[in-house]
Amino acid sequence: MKILGIETSCDETAAAVVEDGAKILSSSIASSLPLHAKAGGIIPEIAAREQVKAIIPIIDLTLANNLQTTDYRQKKKAVGWHLSAIDQLDAIAVTVGPGLIGSLLVGVEAAKTLAYVWKTPIVPVNHLIAHLYSPWLERSRPPDFPLVALIVSGGHTELVLVTGHGGWQPLGGTRDDAAGEALDKIARLLGLGYPGGPAIEKAASLGDKTRFQLPRPLINSPTFDFSFSGLKTAVVNLANLLDRKSQLTEGIVADLSASFQESIIDVLVTKTIKAAKKIKVGSIVLGGGVAANKRLREEMVARFTGKVYFSSPKLAVDNAAMVAAAAFFNYQPVAWDKVNAQAAILL
Ligand code: KG4
Ligand code: ZN
């Protein structure tokens, strides 16, 4: 079964064709990230306007590539709705939320229109569930159920028990900042740029993670909730103090990045493993942009005795292949006029 996935929940405009929820036949992404970098965070109106510009060319390019044309000149000629590619599609999957409403609307309305015109089934997909499915992509043997999923992105930090396709039960989530959001804010404070996660990861690779003892919020709490705003404030105060003493050198910024990253990773890994042990499941799945982090992956693998599944970093951050995969394994088409963007939809 070939599904065209469409993802426009934030600053990425992405489309992909995925076969049987695992094999990526074609994938294209445009990003308005450079337009937000200066502000140190996403500007929703700009993101939505860029989505409008990119959506048709990205879907077009994805379908043209789906013809598996390797010759660039032929590819160029193939731009335009290519009937043989469309004929091969069994369904369209689209992210309906959570996300920025202006961005979501662009993908949702495009998907609905195509589903109507092409008479193709349409499957609405929750963005968090899409992140959960990235480890199913490009893998011959899928992850084993039951499992605990840590979905950790710019907007969410969720622990979910997954008993099978369609069977998920939230265990806990962040009470304030998401882990990615905290990384983004501290990176901006330290002048490391945007997005903050990869910038902190890079700086941290040159730093000493034991240099600063930072709080590990809620690490020992009996719930599976998270809270990163206190940790963020602790780093802000420390950075300001060091700055006043003219001690915020490049080396100290690297140490602070490493200590901060370590604190977040320690909390994420400890609580995810605690959940898996308590519920007695042998598998952990990592999804979402922060799951691209190498230290997080390493630490989870080193500390968990069961299996840990994650995708390649480029499939952990926002993409459309994961949307198509989620739709394949939870195939519930609805009438096109019942599909709506829902900015604050829950799991
Ligand atoms: O899933 P995603 O692409 O978009 C949302 O759904 O939010 O996640 C973006 C988040 C950003 O906060 C970004 O800083 C973070 O993921 N991120 C990372 C890494 N790559 C992206 N955080 C830590 N390490 C990374 N390598
Ligand atoms: Zn995401």
Predicted TM-score (pTM) of this structure:
0.95
Mean residue pLDDT across the chain: 94
Q: From the CA of 181, how far away is ligand 1's center (Å)?
A: 8
Residue located nearest, by CA, to atom 1 of ligand 1: 289
pLDDT of residue 81: 54
Q: How far apart are CA 34 and CA 36, in angstroms?
A: 5
pLDDT of residue 251: 98
Q: What average pLDDT does range 114-127 have in this prediction?
A: 96
Q: From the CA of 334, how far away is ligand 1's center (Å)?
A: 31
Q: From the CA of 201, how far away is ligand 1's center (Å)?
A: 11
Atom of ligand 1 at shortest range from CA of 9: 6
Higher pLDDT, 73 or 152: 152
Residue 273, C-beta contacts closer than 8 angstroms, at least 6 positions apart: 284, 300, 303, 304
Q: How far apart are CA 47 and CA 206, in angstroms?
A: 33
Residue among 296, 175, 156, 294 nearest 227 (CA)? 175
Q: What average pLDDT does range 40-69 have in this prediction?
A: 87
* Strands (DSSP E) found in the chain: 2-7, 12-19, 23-31, 91-97, 122-126, 147-152, 157-164, 167-173, 283-287, 307-309
Res. 79: pLDDT tops 60: no
Q: From the CA of 110, how far away is ligand 1's center (Å)?
A: 26
Q: How far apart are CA 57 and CA 229, in angstroms?
A: 39
**Are the CB atoms for 231 and 264 separated by under 8 Å?**
yes
Res. 136: pLDDT tops 90: yes
Positive or negative: CA dihedral 46, 52, 54, 58: positive
Atom of ligand 1 at shortest range from CA of 180: 12
Higher pLDDT, 345 or 80: 345
Atom of ligand 1 at shortest range from CA of 155: 7
Residue located nearest, by CA, to atom 21 of ligand 1: 289
Res. 85: pLDDT tops 90: no
Q: How far apart are CA 224 and CA 235, in angstroms?
A: 23
Res. 74: pLDDT tops 60: no
Res. 131: pLDDT tops 50: yes
Residue 157, C-beta contacts closer than 8 angstroms, at least 6 positions apart: 150, 151, 173, 174, 178, 179, 180, 226, 228, 268
Q: From the CA of 87, how far away is ligand 2's center (Å)?
A: 29
151-170 confidence digits (pLDDT tens):
999 999 999 999 999 999 99
Atom of ligand 1 at shortest range from CA of 183: 14
Helix (H, G, I), strand (E, B), or coil: what is residue 179? helix
Please give the domain boundaries of the chain with CATH numbers for all domains: 2-134+316-338 (3.30.420.40), 142-310 (3.30.420.40)
Q: What average pLDDT does range 114-133 have in this prediction?
A: 97
Helix (H, G, I), strand (E, B), or coil: what is residue 158? strand
Ligand 1 pocket, Cβ-based, cut-off 6 angstroms: 10, 153-155, 180, 183-184, 195-198, 201, 288-290, 292-293, 317-318
Q: From the CA of 61, how far away is ligand 2's center (Å)?
A: 22
Atom of ligand 1 at shortest range from CA of 195: 14
